[in-house]
Structure 1
């Protein structure tokens, strides 16, 4: 199967969505699928040779966390997409590149699936107009409007998708409460093989650090535990 995977942010930016996209693409390729990732470009960053990634333009201005603002009007997206015979579009955002994905899905009659990574209404306070430092009555009203309107938008967006993927059971339950017509399946973010390899050196460090704490928990009264932790912290500032 030939899959077009579309995202508003990708490596070198470090975040949950870029990691999920990269690992999912790697896993699908190992299973014999062809995966092309459509992602915004980052100045000075070059992808490894052999990676099938289409980098479309991004605006010069970046967000405070280093994430670029994608320019989804870049004609390169349409040109590269038209050159491939894709069987499926998998988008990881419901806005910007997500809107492009809907248009391409309808134009080429290709199924569209979407991974619901983020509850955007819970992240409005990170946007500058809604930050607590600038909040006033008008902005508070606008934030409430957006908070109530976003679920409606998300419900409408999901109706355009053939399948919705949720990264967890809790997110699946949330989506089903939000849209009873959505077909939802769970697709967790994968872990690299190295995550399953035991690290004896690190394990021994953890045992050494916490063995004293376990002894305190079982044998010392609460007051003495707190005092012991206080002096242990002074003795070893790196203790957590």
Structure 2
């Protein structure tokens, strides 16, 4: 198959969507399919640090500009769209797969119309929950209504939706979205999460081997709820005075979180490591932890949970929306409610009990096998092949 993918975000921008797209594309290429990915050009000002992933698929970068309220991201320039649609429409595609709902969506829908091929879109993000964090000056109720309406329009412009979890599918049905959908999680390449040297990470960064360590891997953004985890750590320090909380990731909330650490008196207990190499030191970071902690309430899936499980790191997490699906029936994780005292008590139980940590660590890789991309990618190919509806492919004006 010739597959066109489009996204408003991709490496060197590090987040779950970039990871998911790369996983999809690599796996499809490995099966013999041809993949072209269209994504923004982040420019030389962005710290690229050799993160231009190609790995067998064609990568087309489009001119883009910064977004004033989210400087990490880029918006593909409108001036680039018309020529791009014209050029892409001259090629033969079997399916168009859109991963984000902005300019990439517009380009993808228009190419699908011109080529008369099905357009599939993955709902990676629960925008109703995200919007208030990025536009705090906007009335919250109105913003939620606008996000729901925009989501309905976007979903109705495509032929089929991929939804990572049943919980997210229910959200869309609650909005009135009638587009056919398939619950299909993003898998991970388990071969990439079979190593890691926690002792080496501790040694490199001067962390004593006996020191209790918690870790999280996350974009530093308000919706990721890292403030909650910092307050949990503050509660734990009384019982575990040597406790260290390791945070891997970057994002717009970094300055506020650094300041909050000082306010909470946690300077000696929290270390920020930024974005780490996914093929090296990030694995070491995971493995250095006695437990991986996570408390985002907005995830449509939560790939980092699967990564931690695959590496045999005990997980303590809330179970909300997508994370509820990932952790349902898990034997490598313990779930806790969004309550600082209860969550802290759950983490303390894991830190106190070596046998519990051992049993969670042993079970994690078995849990992760259910999320292997080798298991899931065949369903993606079948979905592509069956995405063409019985009636007209695209509503008139859907791409406008």
Q: TM-score, normalised by structure 2?
A: 0.47
Return closer, same or farther for 1:57/1:111 CA change in 2, 3 Å cut-off. same
Kept in 2, the 8 Å contact 1:176–1:184? The answer is no
Q: 1 CA distance for matches of 2:195 and 2:241?
A: 28
> Which residue in 1 is equivalent to 2:40?
40
Are 1:94 and 2:91 matched, yes or no? no
Return closer, same or farther for 1:232/1:120 CA change in 2, 3 Å cut-off. closer
> Which residue in 1 is equivalent to 2:62?
56
Q: 2 CA distance for matches of 1:153 and 1:27?
A: 31
Q: 2 CA distance for matches of 1:235 and 1:36?
A: 46
Q: 1 CA distance for matches of 2:68 and 2:36?
A: 24
Kept in 1, the 8 Å contact 2:96–2:120? The answer is yes
Are 1:69 and 2:75 matched, yes or no? yes
Return closer, same or farther for 1:38/1:72 CA change in 2, 3 Å cut-off. farther
Return closer, same or farther for 1:181/1:123 CA change in 2, 3 Å cut-off. same
CA offset digits 1:28-75 (Å, max 9, x no partner):
111111110010101125845654011111025665451122214404
Return closer, same or farther for 1:67/1:157 CA change in 2, 3 Å cut-off. closer
Q: 1 CA distance for matches of 2:73 and 2:180?
A: 31
| Structure 2 residue runs without a partner (length 5+) | 203-208, 213-234, 245-267, 271-289, 291-400
Kept in 2, the 8 Å contact 1:57–1:72? The answer is no
Q: Whose Rg is larger? A: 1
The structure with the greater share of residues assigned to helix is 1
Q: 2 CA distance for matches of 1:29 and 1:235?
A: 44
Kept in 2, the 8 Å contact 1:62–1:69? The answer is no
Q: TM-score, normalised by structure 1?
A: 0.74
Residue 182 (structure 2) aligned to one of 182, 185, 190: 185
Residue 118 (structure 1) aligned to one of 125, 129, 134: 125
Q: How many aligned residue pairs are there?
A: 216
Kept in 2, the 8 Å contact 1:6–1:98? The answer is yes
Runs of 4+ in 1 over 3 A off after TM superposition: 45-51, 60-65, 198-202, 207-210, 234-240
Q: Which segment is superposed worse, 47-56 or 115-124?
A: 47-56
Return closer, same or farther for 1:62/1:193 CA change in 2, 3 Å cut-off. farther
> Which residue in 2 is equivalent to 1:230?
238
> Which residue in 1 is equivalent to 2:10?
10
Return closer, same or farther for 1:120/1:9 CA change in 2, 3 Å cut-off. same
Residue 115 (structure 2) aligned to one of 70, 94, 108: 108
SS at match of 2:75: strand
- Give the root-mean-square deviation of aligned CA atoms: 3.5
